[in-house]
């Protein structure tokens, strides 16, 4: 076997894949071959590195050189310079916008410095399509340990002692969930992996399945053994073709090695896994809706109890855990509950993966220990706000979460703290907003999503969210009164109080938290008919600033509705009646002569 | 049995483990309002989707409000059913539902009989603070049922009836969120689905989202047209339920008042479908005996059991789902159609009337009858034997709109000759009745002896599937009975698998038979009403002098004067039919 | 593929496969490990740096020393190629010049194992890439 001195890890996640990552990978391989380096340099397609803002990524081991925005044509130079001569290709290094300098390797990048990778430990490290790489990275050892050296009770206890809580959004103690399922006796039980990731902008589950599919399979076997289930189902949305492709390969490889199937590792325990496809409905992330969908029924939640642990898939006891939750399990078994519970806060142990998005410099996927502050995440890992603008709010918990502000920045992130400040952990979406974001528009955006994704079964969610959205629309058009704001708050509270499932019980959170934290903005829309951030189209107008206008005609030429008039070298005027507020004039004006008022 | 003690509105109550808050509250005579919950006890159907969220209550220690219909009681639970929080939430949810509902109560088909309207009155809703978009859908006019989904509140009761009880499976939730609606697959209309028009969806719909096609205007026009002779027939189940629409106790028989009312409305002849029911027994009973004896004589061509064919919902059901068994049901037409055929031939001749100048109207407890009379095979030269059918509910509306004081009406008798009937015909209205009537006649025709006791108690009851063996003097005849198409499916599957031991099976699509038909006064979830109607039907039978169809003198006369004998060529032409394999109709692309 | 039939099988397989990813795992946590960089500019390669690198990798593994060997560009000491930079945990990097196999062996035995300094140290008056 070749003894490689250098590994080139090429991101093979969906994001980088989409931006010609596959071609880059092939070019690198070809260059290595052309230079007769195939025994020295190994080129590997891995899972996501998380730093999606600057994909495709190539990381060179052992020096951890971190190349960003690499194009297929750069392969030649990387191999010639780095592999042959040992010199980094400087132009491809990451340029830190805050420190204003190039960063030579990942160890010196703020993005990675404060991260602690447990669930993502193998993502970007191993070739997800090669089970041998997973085995080399301690793969299936935890499973072996559980099957051969532990009783089901001991396995459950280990997970319970670790303090692991469900990463899909609910935060229910995983060990307790397992224990309940283990105590319900039946001729057949099921273990279900919830890979129906639906929060807008969240893609941690997809990344884990793409980057480290075996870890999920291993955890499911452990789960099955612990609760007495021999069948595992992975419910994954059909829009995740790469994850499905890699899962299928992983399942086949695990079966070939006998790590799935009958009498696993001679333990006498049988377990196998099947994939089920979802059509991508947000509500199917809810356990009961997910189970109905798997059964071929309409993906609608039903009242709990009965919980899936009592009567789940096909009426049998079923344990449902999310992908990220599962990704923690093998590590907990190998390193022990004590180790795991030493990380994090009192009630939230371990780490959490977040998808950073919005007006932040380093958009991407990160894993951090519980207890880290929002400030550290946004300003250190995330590299602060784009374009040096002012931070305004961060939305956590996806469409069900709330918007947190400056005053919450030093809150240590964990399940309970986020709840106590009016937001939630959710599945780990984190969207950062700056001074240009209007909070009424933000709330409206999230409601648009929930209106779309409500299953329609219960009245408050089906009609209430629609009305919330309509009310927000009225506010954003300047047609609301303060009484409407009272109604909005009452309606929000009633929807939370009366909805059938978690979707409706949390969907008004963006409205309530923006009302709580940005009341002035609502009042400005209602009383002054003004959008302070200049976002709500009906409340803004574009004006020419007379002293700046030189009459260059650029605005008039670019106006799609020809509503700007003015002779060359004369002051231009915008006809407000015709203006559609497309922003084209402002973008084209080189003299700062167009303003939003 | 484990007992649980809890407190509801400061009162203690003890219930069995597993009881919901809704049921527990009932024990304290607290009726928690709801729009979707439905408990059809006698049919073993408890529909509790927890969807309307009107029944929410406050449970101490719980973060959010709990739906009373779906939340089980637990020891020491403290429940408040009318705290300020509950009342505010309940009213807000109701306002939301109304905000997505048309405001056309004044002219709505269900006005005065609408659960949503009642709830708005009950909770005192006076203003809807939400002015927004209302969901709109294309209205669906089928031959029997109108779907106006603008009025659907997503209670999903219709789905439970269509899917769980009838196993027809036409209605289900489609689309999501605000667009979510109950509809046939691919949002087709009912006419392009496997709908049997049984009307059980209509029977449980809390609003006017599902109603029957209204023929009352057409009827008024026809009644006022002096060139037309308008003949009416009334089905047996109507007289046992019509009184409810006028505030009379369920189970009150109003046969005489009904006849009087129909006469006042201006019908030229008030006849009885019961006459045709007796005729049905003559034809179907003869067919049964014929098939039975041929079978016993070793004729391999003959298939048993014989199945009744009076119920049009049931006929559609087997035409869709059991096309391989089309030769199993009796070929006898339903009483409605036999009546029409005889009225427009025998009676028309007697009256020297051209059938084109006659209008035959039926009053039916049924929605599917509206469809049945439109079937092509029941027309001569395009002129239908029965012109149209109106439901019990429509008749009540007509009587009210004609300002007739129904309760004060004197009892009157049906006209002759098509108004004469026996007790055997009356019991057609309830489950088990047709087969009991057939048994009375078949027994006597087969044995040549008079029955000592005409009541076959073993064939009566409310269980979904019943069976009994009747001894025909040495010949054991095995009889099966099913009501509800889900129950029918079980018997049919056995027949298909060759496992059925029955010689004859009666099937009715609706719960309790015709008394629980889709066109009857709404039972609002109280199935004891159905039982009261059945009781009334048996009482009418018992009060009759003649209780066997073959003794009906006008039937005997009909055969003597016109048809010859049961199963004759003319009888076959007028009184029998054949069945077709049904497939979902294609939607034309133009 | 053969089935893995026992935990022992699994462990054996892992130890065989481990070297495939060991370098990546080590690189994740360079703290506490010996970091060795071999100057692999054109002149370095010409004077045998590649062989020295291979020697170091093999020998360090044989002698059970937890080290990461990587290559770097020209260090600017063409007169003393091949050059090898060694960073012991929590210490400043030290560069050795004119490294041949004998000297490489000494670096392992004397400097890395015992911290003894050797001849041929080049004064650290250059900047590593990190500091640029």
Which pLDDT value is given to residue B520? Answer: 97
| CA B441-B442-B444 angle, 5° bins | 65
Q: Is pLDDT at A26 greater than 70 in this prediction? A: yes
* Domain of residue A294, CATH code: 3.40.50.11540
Q: Is pLDDT at B382 greater than 80 in this prediction? A: yes
Which residues of chain A does C39 touch, with a Cβ-Cβ cutoff of 8 Å? 86
Q: B312 to chain A nearest CA, in Å? A: 30
Q: Which CATH class is domain B279-333+422-554?
A: alpha beta
Q: Is pLDDT at B266 greater than 80 in this prediction? A: yes
A85 touches chain C (CB under 8 A): yes
Give the three-state DSSP class for A303. coil
* Domain of residue A81, CATH code: 3.40.30.10
Which residues of chain B does A504 touch, with a Cβ-Cβ cutoff of 8 Å? none
Q: Is pLDDT at B578 greater than 50 in this prediction? A: yes
Q: Is pLDDT at C127 greater than 70 in this prediction? A: no
Q: A135 Cβ partners below 8 Å, 6+ apart?
A: C10, C13, C14, C17
Which residues of chain A does C59 touch, with a Cβ-Cβ cutoff of 8 Å? none
CB-based contact B359:B271 (threshold 8 Å)? no
**Residue B164, Cβ density class (10 Å: 0-12 exposed, 13-18 middle, ≥19 buried):** middle
Q: What is the rounded distance in angstroms from the CA atom of residue A252 to the CA atom of residue A259?
A: 10
Q: Is pLDDT at C128 greater than 60 in this prediction? A: no
Q: Is pLDDT at B570 greater than 60 in this prediction? A: yes
Which pLDDT value is given to residue B69? Answer: 95
Give just the sign of the alpha carbon dihedral A277, A280, A281, A286. positive
Give the three-state DSSP class for B79. strand
B163 touches chain A (CB under 8 A): no
Domain count, chain A: 5
Q: Is pLDDT at B50 greater than 90 in this prediction? A: yes
For the segment C64-70, the average pLDDT, to the nearest whole number, is 84
Q: What is the rounded distance in angstroms from the CA atom of residue B436 to the CA atom of residue B239?
A: 20
Which pLDDT value is given to residue C94? Answer: 84
Q: Is pLDDT at A1 greater than 70 in this prediction? A: no
Rg (CA), chain B: 25
Q: What is the rounded distance in angstroms from the CA atom of residue C5 to the CA atom of residue A258?
A: 7
Which pLDDT value is given to residue A311? Answer: 92
Task: Give chain A's mean pLDDT.
Answer: 92
Which residues of chain A does B49 touch, with a Cβ-Cβ cutoff of 8 Å? 302, 457
Q: pLDDT tens digits for B236-249?
A: 999 999 999 999 99
Structure-token pair, residue A64: 């951890």
Domain-terminating residue out of A504, A527, A550: A527
Q: Is pLDDT at C15 greater than 90 in this prediction? A: no
Q: What pLDDT band is residue B588 in, cutting at 50, 70 and 90?
A: low
A260 and A375 assigned to the same domain:
no
pLDDT-above-70 percentage for chain B: 99
A513 and A551 assigned to the same domain:
no
Task: Give chain B's mean pLDDT.
Answer: 94
Please list, residue by residue across C2-26, b when 16 or more beta carbons sit within 10 angstroms of its beta carbon and e when fewer do.
ebbeebebbeebbeebeebbebbbb
More confident residue, C38 or A508: A508
Distance, C-alpha B52 to centroid of its chain: 26
A179 and A87 assigned to the same domain:
no
A314 and A454 assigned to the same domain:
no
CA atoms within 13 A of residue A493's CA, in its CB half-sphere: 12
Give the three-state DSSP class for B453. coil
pLDDT-above-70 percentage for chain A: 100
Q: What pLDDT band is residue A509 in, cutting at 50, 70 and 90?
A: very high
Tell me phi and psi for residue A70, to 5 degrees. -80, 135
Q: pLDDT tens digits for A408-465?
A: 999 999 999 999 988 889 889 899 999 999 999 999 999 999 999 899 999 999 999 9
Map tokens 């014989």 to a residue: B306
C5 touches chain A (CB under 8 A): yes
A241 and A282 assigned to the same domain:
yes
Map tokens 């079964």 to a residue: A457
CB pairs under 8 A between A and C: 119
Structure-token pair, residue B405: 């004081």
Which pLDDT value is given to residue C126? Answer: 47
B229 touches chain A (CB under 8 A): no
* Domain of residue A475, CATH code: 1.20.1440.230
Q: What pLDDT band is residue C1 in, cutting at 50, 70 and 90?
A: low
Q: Is pLDDT at C31 greater than 80 in this prediction? A: no
Q: pLDDT tens digits for B150-209?
A: 999 999 999 999 999 999 999 999 999 999 999 998 889 999 999 999 999 999 999 999
Q: pLDDT tens digits for B391-425?
A: 999 999 999 999 999 999 999 999 999 999 999 99
More confident residue, C62 or A394: A394
For the segment B518-534, the average pLDDT, to the nearest whole number, is 95
Domain extent for A311: 131-341
Q: B77 to chain A nearest CA, in Å? A: 16
Mutate to test the interface with A, among B35, B47, B53, B99 (most CBs of A within 10 A): B53
In a domain, A239, yes or no: yes
Q: What is the rounded distance in angstroms from the CA atom of residue B71 to the CA atom of residue A498?
A: 13
Q: What pLDDT band is residue A325 in, cutting at 50, 70 and 90?
A: very high
Contact state of A458 with B52 under an 8 Å Cβ cutoff: yes
Domain-terminating residue out of A434, A458, A488: A434
Contact state of B130 with A465 under an 8 Å Cβ cutoff: no
Which pLDDT value is given to residue C129? Answer: 41
Q: pLDDT tens digits for A43-80?
A: 989 888 888 888 899 998 888 889 999 999 999 999 98
CA atoms within 13 A of residue A214's CA, in its CB half-sphere: 31
Contact state of A462 with B93 under an 8 Å Cβ cutoff: no
Contact state of B178 with A459 under an 8 Å Cβ cutoff: no
Which pLDDT value is given to residue A125? Answer: 86
Q: Which of A88, A149, A258 faces C5 most closely, judged by CB atoms?
A: A258
Q: C62 to chain A nearest CA, in Å? A: 14
Which pLDDT value is given to residue A285? Answer: 84
Q: What pLDDT band is residue C130 in, cutting at 50, 70 and 90?
A: very low
Which pLDDT value is given to residue A200? Answer: 80
Interface pTM, i.e. ipTM: 0.92
A4 touches chain C (CB under 8 A): yes
Run of H or E including A543 = strand A542-544
In a domain, A533, yes or no: no
A143 and A290 assigned to the same domain:
yes
Contact state of C57 with A3 under an 8 Å Cβ cutoff: yes
Q: pLDDT tens digits for A88-145?
A: 888 999 888 777 888 888 888 888 888 899 999 998 888 999 999 999 889 999 999 9
Contact state of A498 with B89 under an 8 Å Cβ cutoff: yes
CB-based contact A450:A492 (threshold 8 Å)? no
For the segment B514-540, the average pLDDT, to the nearest whole number, is 95
According to CATH, the topology of domain B3-99 is Ubiquitin-like (UB roll) (3.10.20)
A311 and A380 assigned to the same domain:
no
A62 touches chain C (CB under 8 A): yes
Which residues of chain B does A498 touch, with a Cβ-Cβ cutoff of 8 Å? 53, 56, 64-65, 89, 93
Catalytically active residues of B, by annotation = 284, 287, 310, 330, 369, 372, 377, 514
| B and A touching (3 or more beta-carbon pairs closer than 8 Å) | yes
The residue ranges of every structural domain in chain C are 31-124
Which pLDDT value is given to residue C113? Answer: 85
For domain C31-124, which architecture applies? 3-Layer(aba) Sandwich (3.40)
In a domain, A121, yes or no: no
Specify the range with the lowest mean pLDDT, choosing from A40-49, A314-323, B380-389, C38-47.
C38-47
Map tokens 């650290």 to a residue: C124
Distance, C-alpha A58 to centroid of its chain: 22
Contact state of C68 with A144 under an 8 Å Cβ cutoff: no
Which pLDDT value is given to residue C80? Answer: 75
Q: Is pLDDT at A385 greater than 70 in this prediction? A: yes
CB-based contact C85:C72 (threshold 8 Å)? yes
More confident residue, A161 or C79: A161
A411 and A455 assigned to the same domain:
no
């Amino acid at each position: 076997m070749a003894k490689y001195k250098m590994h080139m890890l090429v991101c093979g996640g969906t994001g980088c894949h989409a931006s010609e990552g596959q071609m880059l990978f092939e070019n690198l391989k070809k260059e290595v071959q052309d230079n007769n380096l195939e025994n020295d340099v190994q080129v590997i397609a891995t899972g996501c590195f998380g730093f999606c803002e600057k994909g495709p990524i190539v990381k060179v081991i052992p020096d951890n050189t971190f190349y960003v925005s690499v194009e297929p044509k750069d392969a030649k130079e990387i191999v010639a310079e780095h592999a042959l001569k040992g010199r980094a290709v400087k132009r491809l290094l990451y340029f830190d916008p805050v420190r204003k300098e190039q960063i030579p390797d990942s160890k010196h990048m703020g993005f990675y410095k404060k991260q602690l990778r447990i669930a993502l430990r193998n993502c970007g490290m191993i070739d997800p399509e090669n089970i041998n790489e997973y085995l080399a990275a301690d793969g299936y050892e935890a499973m072996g340990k559980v099957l051969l050296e532990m009783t089901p009770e001991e396995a459950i206890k280990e997970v319970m002692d670790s303090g692991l809580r469900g990463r899909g959004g609910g935060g229910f103690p995983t060990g307790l969930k397992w224990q309940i399922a283990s105590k319900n006796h039946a001729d057949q039980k099921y273990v279900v992996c919830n890979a129906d990731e639906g929060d807008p902008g969240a893609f941690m589950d997809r990344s884990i399945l793409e980057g480290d599919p075996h870890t999920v399979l291993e955890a499911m076997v452990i789960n099955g053994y612990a609760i007495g289930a021999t069948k595992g189902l992975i419910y994954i949305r059909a829009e995740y073709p790469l994850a499905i492709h890699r899962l299928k390969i992983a399942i086949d490889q695990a079966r070939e090695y006998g790590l799935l199937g009958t009498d696993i590792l001679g333990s006498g325990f049988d377990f196998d896994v099947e994939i089920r496809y979802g059509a991508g409905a947000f509500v199917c992330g809810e356990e009961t809706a997910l189970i109905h969908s798997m059964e071929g029924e309409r993906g609608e939640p039903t009242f709990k109890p009965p919980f899936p642990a009592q009567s789940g898939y096909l009426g049998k006891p079923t344990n449902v855990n999310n992908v990220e939750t599962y990704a923690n399990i093998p590590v907990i078994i190998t390193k022990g509950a004590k180790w795991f519970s030493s990380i994090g806060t009192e009630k939230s142990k371990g780490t959490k993966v977040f998808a950073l998005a919005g007006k932040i410099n380093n958009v991407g996927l990160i894993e951090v220990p519980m207890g880290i502050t929002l400030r550290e995440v946004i300003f250190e890992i995330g590299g602060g706000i784009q374009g040096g603008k002012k931070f305004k709010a961060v939305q956590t918990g996806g469409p069900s979460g709330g918007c947190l502000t400056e005053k919450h920045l030093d809150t240590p992130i964990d399940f309970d703290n986020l709840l106590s400040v009016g937001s939630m952990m959710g599945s780990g979406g984190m969207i950062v907003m700056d001074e240009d974001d209007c909070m009424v528009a933000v709330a409206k955006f999230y409601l648009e999503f929930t209106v779309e994704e409500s299953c329609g079964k219960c009245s408050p969610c089906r009609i209430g969210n629609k009305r919330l959205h309509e009310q927000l629309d009225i506010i954003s058009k300047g047609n609301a009164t303060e009484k409407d704001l009272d109604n909005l708050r009452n309606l929000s509270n009633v929807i939370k109080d009366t909805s059938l499932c978690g979707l409706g019980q949390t969907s008004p959170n963006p409205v309530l938290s923006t009302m709580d934290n940005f009341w002035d903005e609502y009042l400005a829309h209602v009383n002054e008919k003004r959008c302070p951030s200049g976002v709500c189209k009906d409340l803004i107008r574009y004006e020419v600033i007379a002293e700046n206008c030189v009459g260059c005609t650029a605005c008039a030429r670019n106006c799609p509705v020809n509503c700007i008039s003015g002779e060359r070298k004369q002051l231009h005027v915008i006809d407000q009646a015709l203006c559609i507020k497309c922003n084209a004039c402002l973008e084209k004006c080189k003299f700062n002569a167009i303003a939003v008022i | 049995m484990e007992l649980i003690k809890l407190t509801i509105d400061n009162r203690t109550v003890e219930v069995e483990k597993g009881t919901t808050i809704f049921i527990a509250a009932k024990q304290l005579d607290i009726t928690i309002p709801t729009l979707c919950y439905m408990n059809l006890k006698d049919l073993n159907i408890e529909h509790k989707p927890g969807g309307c969220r009107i029944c929410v209550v406050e449970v101490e220690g719980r973060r959010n409000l709990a739906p009373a219909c779906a939340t089980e009681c637990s020891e020491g639970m403290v429940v408040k059913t009318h705290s300020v929080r509950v009342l505010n939430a309940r009213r807000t949810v109701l306002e939301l539902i109304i905000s997505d509902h048309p405001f056309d109560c004044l002219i709505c088909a269900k006005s005065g009989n609408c659960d949503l309207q009642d709830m708005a009155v009950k909770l005192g809703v006076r203003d809807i603070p939400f002015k927004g978009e209302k969901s709109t859908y294309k209205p669906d006019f089928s031959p029997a049922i109108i779907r106006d989904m603008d009025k659907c509140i997503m209670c999903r009761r219709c789905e439970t009836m269509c899917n769980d009880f009838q196993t027809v499976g036409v209605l289900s939730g489609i689309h999501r969120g605000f667009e979510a609606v109950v509809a046939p697959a691919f949002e087709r209309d009912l006419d392009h689905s496997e709908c049997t028009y049984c009307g059980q969806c209509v029977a449980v719909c809390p609003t006017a989202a599902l109603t029957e096609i209204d023929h009352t205007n057409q009827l008024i026009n026809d009644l006022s047209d002096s060139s037309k002779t308008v003949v009416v027939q009334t089905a047996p189940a109507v007289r046992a339920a019509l009184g409810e629409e006028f505030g009379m106790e369920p189970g009150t028989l109003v046969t005489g008042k009904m006849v009087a009312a129909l006469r006042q409305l201006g019908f030229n002849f008030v006849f009885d479908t019961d006459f045709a029911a007796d005729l049905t027994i003559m034809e179907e009973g003869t067919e049964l005996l014929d098939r039975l004896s041929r079978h016993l004589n070793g004729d391999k061509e003959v298939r048993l059991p014989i199945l009744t064919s009076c119920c049009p919902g049931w006929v559609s059901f087997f035409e869709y789902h059991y096309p391989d068994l089309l030769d199993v049901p009796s070929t006898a037409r339903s009483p409605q159609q036999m009546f029409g055929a005889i009225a427009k031939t025998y009676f028309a001749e007697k009256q020297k009337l051209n059938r084109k100048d006659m209008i035959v109207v039926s009053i039916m407890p049924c929605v599917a009858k509206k469809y049945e009379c439109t079937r092509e095979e029941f027309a001569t030269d395009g002129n239908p034997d029965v012109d149209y059918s109106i439901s019990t509910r429509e008749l009540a509306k007509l009587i009210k709109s004609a300002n007739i004081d129904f309760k004060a009406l004197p009892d009157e008798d049906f006209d002759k000759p098509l108004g004469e009937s026996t007790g055997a015909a009356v019991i057609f209205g309830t489950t088990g009745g047709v087969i009991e009537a057939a048994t009375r006649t078949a027994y006597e025709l087969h044995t040549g002896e008079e029955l000592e006791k005409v009541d076959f108690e073993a064939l009566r009851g409310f269980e979904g599937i019943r069976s009994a063996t009747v001894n025909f003097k040495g010949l054991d005849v095995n009889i099966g009975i099913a009501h509800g198409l889900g129950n029918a499916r079980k018997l049919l599957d056995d027949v298909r698998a060759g496992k059925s031991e029955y010689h004859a099976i009666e099937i009715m699509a609706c719960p309790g038979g015709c008394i629980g038909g889709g066109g009857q006064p709404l039972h609002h979830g109280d199935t004891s009403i159905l039982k009261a109607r059945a009781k009334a039907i048996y009482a009418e039978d018992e009060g009759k002098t003649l209780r066997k169809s073959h003794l009906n003198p006008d039937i005997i006369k009909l055969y003597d004067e016109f048809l010859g004998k049961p199963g004759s060529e003319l009888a076959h032409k007028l009184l029998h039919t054949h069945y077709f394999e049904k497939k979902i109709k294609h939607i034309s692309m133009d | 593929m053969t089935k893995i039939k026992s935990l022992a099988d699994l462990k054996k397989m892992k130890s065989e496969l481990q070297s495939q990813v060991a370098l990546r795992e080590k690189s994740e946590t360079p703290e506490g490990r010996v970091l060795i960089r071999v100057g692999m500019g054109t002149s370095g390669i010409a004077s045998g740096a590649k062989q020295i690198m291979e020697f170091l990798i093999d020998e360090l593994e044989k002698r059970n020393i937890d080290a990461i060997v990587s290559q770097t560009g020209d260090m600017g000491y063409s007169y003393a190629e091949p050059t090898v930079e060694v960073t012991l945990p929590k210490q400043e990097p030290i560069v050795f010049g004119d490294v041949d196999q004998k000297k490489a062996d000494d670096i392992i035995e004397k400097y890395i194992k015992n911290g003894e300094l050797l001849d041929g140290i080049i004064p650290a008056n250059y900047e590593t890439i990190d500091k640029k």
